[in-house]
């Protein structure tokens, strides 16, 4: 049976008023999060998922996914049924919440783990080259370093793909449930904030008059 994520390259159909539907980046801008969390989200979330995906494909990141992880497309199928899995989506959540949770939790945890692990292994490998330790140990540490460093761009590739799916689901009208929240604030609270800001720009809202004197260079 097909999943809601198999055709994430498919164009959005219909001519609904998309301007009233937030993009993933709109929700990021309207998220309820402090400066630290906003800064972290800005670092982790690519600001152009299509460009990021294309770049990773040129880099060969999908090959790493198949050859190293052996989980090709596994993150696009029903998962373990909770939010703790780092490689599968939560089958009990809606598609929008599942991909958002994977992008902001699973892939972030994986990136953090592989980044942290690569630090001591790379240090040991450098020390081994300098001191001329056992070549088998040096080879093992070098391999471990390479594998962990290769896993970091894989997480960013997966995150960009999940953000793309979430963005397209949002454009189709899907929404977060009121009880769904995440650390980045990209959830129902952000949707409420977006709607509030949109309401302020609606035609029904009074538009303050601007006098000619307030516009420099314009004569009445």
CA trace torsion 125, 126, 129, 133 (10° rounding): -50
Query: 190 with 31: CB under 8 angstroms?
Result: yes
Task: Give dist(CA 182, CA 96) in Å, integer.
Answer: 13
- Say whether 53 sits in a helix, a strand or coil: helix
- Say whether 148 sits in a helix, a strand or coil: helix
* Amino acid 20: pLDDT: 72
Going by the DSSP 8-state scheme, the letter that residue 1 receives in this structure is -
Rounded to an integer, the average pLDDT of 56-82 is 66
Locate the domains of the chain by residue range.
18-200
pLDDT-based confidence at residue 55 (cuts at 50, 70, 90):
very high
Of 70-79, 125-134, 175-184, which gets the smallest average pLDDT?
A: 70-79
Task: Give dist(CA 102, CA 188) in Å, integer.
Answer: 17
Query: 94 with 174: CB under 8 angstroms?
Result: yes
pLDDT of residue 137 exceeding 80, the answer is no
Rounded to an integer, the average pLDDT of 86-97 is 84
Rounded to an integer, the average pLDDT of 74-81 is 48
pLDDT-based confidence at residue 211 (cuts at 50, 70, 90):
very low
* Amino acid 17: pLDDT: 42
Rounded to an integer, the average pLDDT of 184-193 is 94
Looking at the DSSP bridge assignments, the partners of residue 78 are 89
**Better-scored residue on pLDDT, 170 or 198:** 170
- Say whether 89 sits in a helix, a strand or coil: strand
* Amino acid 64: pLDDT: 80
Average pLDDT, the chain: 76
Tell me the whole-structure pTM to 2 decimals.
Answer: 0.71
What's the half-sphere exposure (Cβ side, CA atoms, 13 Å) at 48?
5
Contacting residues for 190 by C-beta, under 8 A, at least 6 apart: 22, 27, 28, 30, 31, 32
Of 36-40, 69-73, 92-96, which gets the smallest average pLDDT?
A: 69-73
pLDDT of residue 176 exceeding 90, the answer is yes
DSSP secondary structure string for all residues of 154-208: HHHHHHHHHHHHHHHHHHTT----TT---TT--SHHHHHHHHHHHHHTSTTSPPP
pLDDT of residue 205 exceeding 70, the answer is no
pLDDT of residue 170 exceeding 80, the answer is yes
Contacting residues for 97 by C-beta, under 8 A, at least 6 apart: 90, 176, 177, 180
Query: 161 with 62: CB under 8 angstroms?
Result: no
pLDDT of residue 218 exceeding 90, the answer is no
**Better-scored residue on pLDDT, 130 or 82:** 130
pLDDT of residue 158 exceeding 80, the answer is yes
**Better-scored residue on pLDDT, 145 or 192:** 192
pLDDT of residue 104 exceeding 90, the answer is yes
pLDDT-based confidence at residue 35 (cuts at 50, 70, 90):
very high
């Amino acid at each position: 049976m097909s999943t809601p994520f198999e055709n994430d390259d498919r164009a959005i159909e219909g001519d609904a008023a998309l301007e009233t539907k937030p993009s993933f980046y709109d929700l990021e801008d309207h998220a309820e999060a402090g400066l630290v969390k906003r800064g972290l989200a800005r670092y982790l979330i690519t600001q152009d998922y299509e460009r990021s995906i294309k770049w990773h494909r040129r880099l060969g990141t999908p090959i790493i996914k198949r050859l190293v992880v052996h989980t090709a497309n596994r993150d696009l199928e029903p998962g373990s049924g909770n939010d703790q899995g780092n490689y599968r989506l939560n089958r009990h959540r809606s598609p929008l919440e599942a991909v958002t949770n994977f992008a902001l939790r699973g892939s972030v945890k994986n990136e953090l783990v592989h980044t942290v692990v690569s630090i001591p292994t790379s240090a040991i490998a450098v020390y081994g080259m300098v001191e001329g330790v056992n070549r088998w140990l040096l080879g093992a540490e070098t391999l471990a370093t390479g594998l962990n460093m290769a896993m970091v761009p894989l997480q960013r590739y997966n995150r960009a793909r999940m953000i793309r799916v979430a963005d397209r689901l949002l454009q189709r009208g899907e929404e977060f449930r009121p009880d769904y929240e995440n650390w980045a604030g990209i959830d129902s609270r952000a949707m409420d904030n977006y709607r509030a800001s949109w309401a302020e720009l609606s035609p029904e809202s009074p538009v303050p008059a601007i006098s000619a004197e307030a516009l420099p260079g314009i004569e009445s």
